[in-house]
């Protein structure tokens, strides 16, 4: 994610976002991800935000790498003991390295034109049979929310096709609605897929 306006908003509102992340720390999808990867697995939290999910994965005994484009978010993650690094999605260059990648409401900030390339990078970074969790907002097109953050929206069949094109096999899909940092209720989809 390299949109300067979106990054600036996350820098400014990092503390508010951390409260939301902490409130969602008992996410059953995260629990399912932890349970589905091997004991002691090496995983990547791609777009880790304030590090709440990464910390929960660490506490469960996983080896966690965590990245975020926001320096403020990386700093907050480090206060939780997460060895987070500042990096954009395009910086992912690992090959056959991770047992799992957790991309929870992060890749939706990438332009649609860049999204297939990011999925290919994630697939390459995963070991054969590695687990990929991705959650995005559902809808169409690319828009900014009321705070000015950039979002790319996907229909379920569109996301499934893109994941298939990148070499993933979809295992499970969950949909819902949630209120985020902007205060707007938004529908979302989360997919569990294997490389």
pLDDT in tens, 46-59: 999 999 999 999 99
What integer is the mean pLDDT of 78-99?
96
What integer is the mean pLDDT of 9-17?
77
pLDDT in the model for residue 1 = 60
CATH at residue 88: 3.40.50.150
pLDDT in the model for residue 124 = 98
Number of structural domains the chain divides into: 1
Q: What is the per-residue pLDDT across 14-43, written as a single tens digit (0 to 9) for each?
A: 777 767 777 666 799 999 999 999 999 999
Higher model confidence: residue 182 or residue 159?
Answer: 159
Token pair recorded at residue 43: 């995983």
Domain that holds residue 60: 4-194
| Weakest-pLDDT range from 69-78, 155-164, 177-186 | 177-186
Q: Coil, strand, or helix at residue 17?
A: helix
List the beta strands (DSSP E) in 148-184.
150-152, 169-179
For residue 81, is it left (φ>0), alpha (ψ between -120 and 50) or beta?
left
Report in angstroms the alpha-carbon separations of 140 from 67, 105, 157, 159.
27, 16, 12, 11
Report whether 171 contacts 192 (CB < 8 A): yes
Report whether 30 contacts 45 (CB < 8 A): no
What integer is the mean pLDDT of 114-119?
98
> Whole-model pTM?
0.94
E strand or H helix at 42: strand 42-46
What band does 91 get if pLDDT is binned at 50, 70 and 90? very high
Percentage of the chain beyond pLDDT 70 is 97
The torsion defined by the Cα of 157, 176, 59 and 18, in degrees rounded to 10, comes to 110
pLDDT in the model for residue 70 = 94
Q: In b/e form, how buried is each residue of 81-100, taking b as 16+ CB within 10 angstroms?
A: ebebeebebeebeeeebbbb
Token pair recorded at residue 150: 């950039």
Q: Which long-range contacts (CB under 8 A, 24 or more apart) does 73-76 make?
A: 73/10, 73/14, 73/17, 73/48, 73/49, 74/48, 76/14, 76/18, 76/49, 76/50, 76/51
pLDDT in the model for residue 29 = 96
């Amino acid at each position: 994610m390299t949109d300067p306006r979106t990054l600036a908003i996350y820098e400014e509102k990092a503390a508010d976002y951390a409260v939301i992340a902490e409130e969602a720390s008992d996410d059953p999808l995260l629990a399912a991800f932890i349970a589905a990867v091997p004991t002691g697995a090496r995983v990547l939290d791609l777009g880790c935000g304030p590090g709440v999910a990464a910390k929960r994965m660490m506490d469960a005994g996983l080896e966690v790498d965590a990245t975020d484009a926001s320096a403020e978010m990386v700093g907050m993650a480090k206060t939780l003991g997460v060895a987070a690094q500042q990096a954009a999605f395009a910086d992912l260059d690992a090959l056959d390295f991770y047992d799992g990648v957790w991309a929870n409401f992060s890749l939706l900030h990438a332009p649609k034109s860049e999204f297939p390339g990011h999925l290919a990078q994630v697939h390459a970074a995963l070991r054969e049979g590695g687990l990929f969790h991705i959650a995005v907002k559902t809808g169409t097109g690319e828009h900014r929310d009321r705070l000015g953050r950039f979002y790319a929206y996907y229909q379920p069949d569109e996301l499934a096709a893109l994941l298939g094109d990148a070499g993933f096999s979809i295992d499970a899909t969950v949909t819902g609605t949630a209120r985020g940092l902007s205060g707007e209720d938004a529908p979302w989809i989360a997919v569990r897929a294997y490389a």
